[in-house]
Amino acid sequence: MEKIVQFEKLASENLSIAESNRKVAKRLKSLAKSELDRSKAMSQLVKKELEMTKIRKEVAEEMKNLVEEKLKLKDSGVLKFSDTELKKEIQLSIYNGKVAIMQKLIAENQQKLADLEEEIAKERQKYAKETLNFAKKREDLSKKLNAYINTIKEESSDNQILKAKKSCEKLQQDLIKEKKTLLLKEKEIKMMEIRLANLERELSAKFSELEQIRNS
């Protein structure tokens, strides 16, 4: 009788855990979808930003060429330009060049961030699906345990009881293996999130560099 009570408790606990797993899986699925939508939107914005940085770089290069041309004309005596104005234009062309380079580096970093965020979101979707499957198997185990309990209560044949017991044991072993797989997936996602945090720190540092250039 004590054994039956233990099995009934185990069946109830598995059902409770399965419900918790199901809730977690649904939340993870919703989170992954939001992250995927955001990463795709960010990727589109970054593509536009990269196009703009290319134009900024071209403008900075043209300004530099223009200043160099003015210097040649001044040195040859063909035209006269104010030394003060030329100095300002030289400084401005250098400044614009530095800003354009830094903005390009920032955009490239943002693209890496968007790509990694998308990768994490996709892995989280897979994890959510696997967690949901895990929850379903836990529910199955709960049902099988109850079926096993019934064979004992109903004093079924030894063969039926053994068959029900083996079915429970097999599913328990499957769940142990799947739990290990889920834990490994969690670890992989965590490592990806660490890489993401590193990229975010790098991006923050580049923004600081850009601010220093603008304030110089």
Give the pTM. Answer: 0.81
DSSP state, residue 79: S
DSSP 8-state code for residue 1: -
CA distance 144 to 165: 8
In the predicted model, what is the mean pLDDT of the chain? 89
Domains of the chain by start residue, with CATH: 2-215 (1.10.287.950)
Q: Is 15 exposed, middle or buried (0-12, 13-18, 19+ CB in 10 A)?
A: middle
Taking alpha carbons only, the member of 37, 41, 202, 66 closest to residue 124 is 37
pLDDT, mean of each 10-residue run, the chain (216 residues) = 74 85 89 90 90 88 86 78 83 88 92 93 92 91 88 85 90 93 95 96 95 89
